[in-house]
Structure 1
Amino acid sequence: EMEAVAEKADERRIPKLVVFDLDACVWSPEMYELWGGGAPFRYCENSNTCVDRNGTVVELLGAIPEVWQLISSTEGCKIAIASRTDEPSWAREILAKFRLPNGRTMMEALDRDLVEMYKGSKKKHLKAIRDKSGVPFAGMLFFDDDPVNIEHVSSLGVVSVLTPQGVTSSAWERGLDEYSRAKRM
């Protein structure tokens, strides 16, 4: 999976800033579905999963570990979070536990200043990310599983990709293609 992800990205530029929703986009289940369980989470190295105190397994979706490793190891490219998760502290805990193929945690791979987790329109999240990063909307690529969020964020001029199955390698490919097409326009 890693080679496929890296190989295809070579001929296209990765955006300066790639923004991810978390629940049902980066991982499953969603944090609110863990109510009654939740923190503390135990990390299982062999499966790269996190298990909550009730034994519910949280797993990364699609090609997330490979995609995050590729972005974070590309010069001048950053990862940001735009999430409306109900449990930001749980989300932060598991971001600090999940690992990429190179052994770094997801928290180490992202830009901590660009983590926006709160209720409200994703436009607010993206505007905060733009203001803190200095990257214009046209320099961003956004992934989310909710069509409403995609609609809102697209209206800002951000290339936005709907991910009903999470960020699979094909969703990542689609994002890079749409982004490079938008850059050429």
Structure 2
Amino acid sequence: MGKGSSSGSVPPNQHASCSTTESSETSNNNAYPHSLKSDESDLPSIIVFDLDDCLWTPEMHELSGPPSIPIEGPLDPNNPIESPLGTVGMGVSSSRRKKRGVWADGYTPDQVVELYHGARLALRELAINPKYRNVQIAVASTSLVPEYSRSCMAGIEIVEGVTMKDMISYAQIGRNGKLSSSKTSHFELIHQESGVSYEDILFFDDCNWDDHVGCLKRTFGVVGMRTPNGLSLEEFHRGLQKFSVEKKRRDGTLN
């Protein structure tokens, strides 16, 4: 189930659109050892992230209302004492208010959408390290409530004064119109909008409801990394290493 779920039911309207059988190549996160380092020439042109259960928790369909309350905290989880403060989460309102809309002392929202620890570190690395200056960021999500997702992206800061929305070049969220429950539809639009080859894209997804990583590999040749417990920094680096190896194989430069 999802990390924020209280039951084992599949989210409404979620249907498997590709075979969920994992290949040994895409299911083994240990197939790309840390000794294989990548440089800027080995980086993808676009890194695409799933949102629910990959970058943040809980999932949008689990929320009781819109995430509209900024939650302040240290932006750098590895140095919370010296870190500047910013919006690290978005809370869902409740009826416990003082008059004139002032929050009661000690008020805590019923639900708070927060990035996973590793996801925050990975996004901070992308924002701060000049190595990634030519790498674009996109999101592909089959969220049932895209407006909630966009509210979180617009509010949650990664570094001081820079929100998730500021970092994201392409956002395909939902399953209406040209989008479906299959993320092949999301990637088709990202490909069309960016002009970037599928082989130059790296994808991260929890794959707890459907094997999106395997489906996109089989359909378009997209390199992906599964993050079943929410993105960790190790999985982020392993995904980059996996992409580097696949690129060298295609180029015939793998030693």
TM > 0.5: yes
Shorter-normalised TM range: 0.7 to 0.9
Identity of aligned residues (%): 31
Displacement after TM superposition at 1:162 (Å): 0.5
Map of 1:179 onto structure 2: 243
Distance, in Å, in 1 between the alignment partners of 2:141 and 2:243 is: 21
Displacement after TM superposition at 1:40 (Å): 4.6
Q: Does structure 2 conserve the Cα–Cα contact (< 8 Å) formed by 1:71 and 1:78?
A: no
Matches within 5 A, 1:79-90: 79-90=137-148
How does the TM-score come out when normalised to structure 2? 0.64
After superposition, what is the alpha-carbon deviation per residue over 1:77-103, rounded to whole angstroms, capped at 9, x for unaligned? Answer: 111111000110010001011111343
Displacement after TM superposition at 1:134 (Å): 0.8
Q: What is the DSSP-based 3-state SS (H/G/I as helix, E as strand, rest coil) of the residue aligned with 2:53?
A: coil
Q: Does structure 1 conserve the Cα–Cα contact (< 8 Å) formed by 2:67 and 2:113?
A: no
Map of 2:89 onto structure 1: 49
Matches within 5 A, 1:32-43: 32-34=61-63, 37-43=64-70
How does the TM-score come out when normalised to structure 1? 0.86
Matches within 5 A, 1:121-132: 121-132=182-193
Map of 1:24 onto structure 2: 53
Map of 1:3 onto structure 2: none
Compared CA separation, residues 161 and 11, structure 1 to 2 (3 A): closer
Distance, in Å, in 1 between the alignment partners of 2:193 and 2:233 is: 28
After superposition, what is the alpha-carbon deviation per residue over 1:41-64, rounded to whole angstroms, capped at 9, x for unaligned? Answer: 211111612111242111101322
Confirm whether residue 152 of structure 1 aligns to residue 192 of structure 2: no
Map of 1:77 onto structure 2: 135
What's the C-alpha RMSD, in Å, of the aligned pairs?
2.0
Q: Does structure 1 conserve the Cα–Cα contact (< 8 Å) formed by 2:49 and 2:55?
A: yes
Identify unmatched segments of 5+ residues in structure 1.
1-7
Q: Does structure 2 conserve the Cα–Cα contact (< 8 Å) formed by 1:72 and 1:110?
A: no
Structure (1 or 2) with the greater helix fraction: 1
Length, aligned pairs only: 174
Counterpart residue type for residue 133 of structure 1:
S
Map of 2:123 onto structure 1: 68
Map of 2:202 onto structure 1: 141
Counterpart residue type for residue 71 of structure 1:
L
Q: What is the DSSP-based 3-state SS (H/G/I as helix, E as strand, rest coil) of the residue aligned with 1:41?
A: strand
Displacement after TM superposition at 1:148 (Å): 1.4
Q: What is the DSSP-based 3-state SS (H/G/I as helix, E as strand, rest coil) of the residue aligned with 1:58?
A: strand
Compared CA separation, residues 66 and 102, structure 1 to 2 (3 A): farther
Identify unmatched segments of 5+ residues in structure 2.
1-34, 75-87, 95-109, 250-255
Q: What is the DSSP-based 3-state SS (H/G/I as helix, E as strand, rest coil) of the residue aligned with 1:15?
A: coil
Displacement after TM superposition at 1:118 (Å): 2.0
Distance, in Å, in 2 between the alignment partners of 1:66 and 1:100 is: 9
Query: 165, 174, 190: which one pairs with 1:118?
Result: 174
Map of 1:5 onto structure 2: none
Distance, in Å, in 2 between the alignment partners of 1:162 and 1:176 is: 12
Counterpart residue type for residue 184 of structure 1:
K
Compared CA separation, residues 182 and 11, structure 1 to 2 (3 A): closer
Query: 103, 106, 121: which one pairs with 2:161?
Result: 103
Q: Which has the larger radius of gyration?
A: 2
Deviates more, 1:88-97 or 1:56-65: 56-65
